[in-house]
Amino acid sequence: MPPGPIQCVHAPRDGRSLTGDIRLLEAFHSDALGNSRDVLVYLPPGYDHDQTRRFPVLYLHDGQNVFDTSTSFAGAEWGVDETAERLVHAGRVMPLVIVAINHAGALRADEFAPTRDAHRHAGGHANHYARFLVDELKPYIDRTFRTQPEAASTAVGGSSLGGLVTLHIGLEHPGVFGALAVLSPSIWWDRRAVLTRVEGLPARLPWRIWLDVGTAEGRDTVRNARALRGVLQEKGWEPGADLHYLEVHDAPHSEAAWAERVGPLLEFLFPVTASS
């Protein structure tokens, strides 16, 4: 049976740690993936006040961990809603729409890893996930909410395997996303295949990139992040301009650690400018 129409409602608050105006797209169906998932959409302060204003958009993977302790891994959320509210009200971040895309549970690695790992029996469906995001979810978001749909105003991000799929989506669709938030990326997957792809770029792509890692995530994770930073710089990205690289001393591979980086990440990717 084909899925019914998408229901966009105010997200329920009972037992949830949600802040601000958050809408729920319940069981958003994807033909590309052949499954459905909930999507939460945060609307910035002032969204309803000026009906002519449009807003940039940040898409985040692993949506269960983005806004809500009741759904997050081990009860630790990123607190993106609280951080965005605080920074927007303080005039430090441009008002933006934030789309938190729930992962597919046991199929998470399948959807986030570009290639199949025979030993882990996982991966290989990242192209389908990218099609879901680019061809199904983003068009719906742009139709339903007052967004700035152009690449320069659209970012995508995630951590761990979510960082890996962020790089993959950027490489596959450089004309759709103009900014990437890559937190503690799983560059190790398939013998660093994503690093090889970046090395193969003829030149810099039109992205602004946030790249980070914690020094307590393991020697290889830090080494891989540094290698990616080096390749990006070789291709023409400039630290402090369109590339921000951060190593956080003693930070582990965890939701709580990534939550600490949300504020600086938003300030780098969505700075308040004179025109805004």
- In whole angstroms, give the CA distance from residue 114 to residue 120: 13
Contacts of 201 (CB under 8 A, 6+ apart): 235
Mean pLDDT (whole number) for 45-69? 96
pLDDT over 60 at 2, yes or no: no
Confidence of residue 274 (pLDDT cuts 50, 70, 90): low
- Sign of the Cα pseudo-torsion (84, 72, 22, 130, in order): positive
SS3 258: helix
pLDDT over 90 at 144, yes or no: yes
pLDDT digits (tens, 9 = 90+) for 71-130: 999 889 999 999 999 999 999 999 999 999 999 999 999 999 999 876 777 888 899 999
Whether 206 and 235 have beta carbons less than 8 Å apart is answered as: no
pLDDT over 50 at 55, yes or no: yes
Residue 245: per-residue pLDDT: 98
Whole-structure pTM value: 0.96
pLDDT over 90 at 257, yes or no: yes
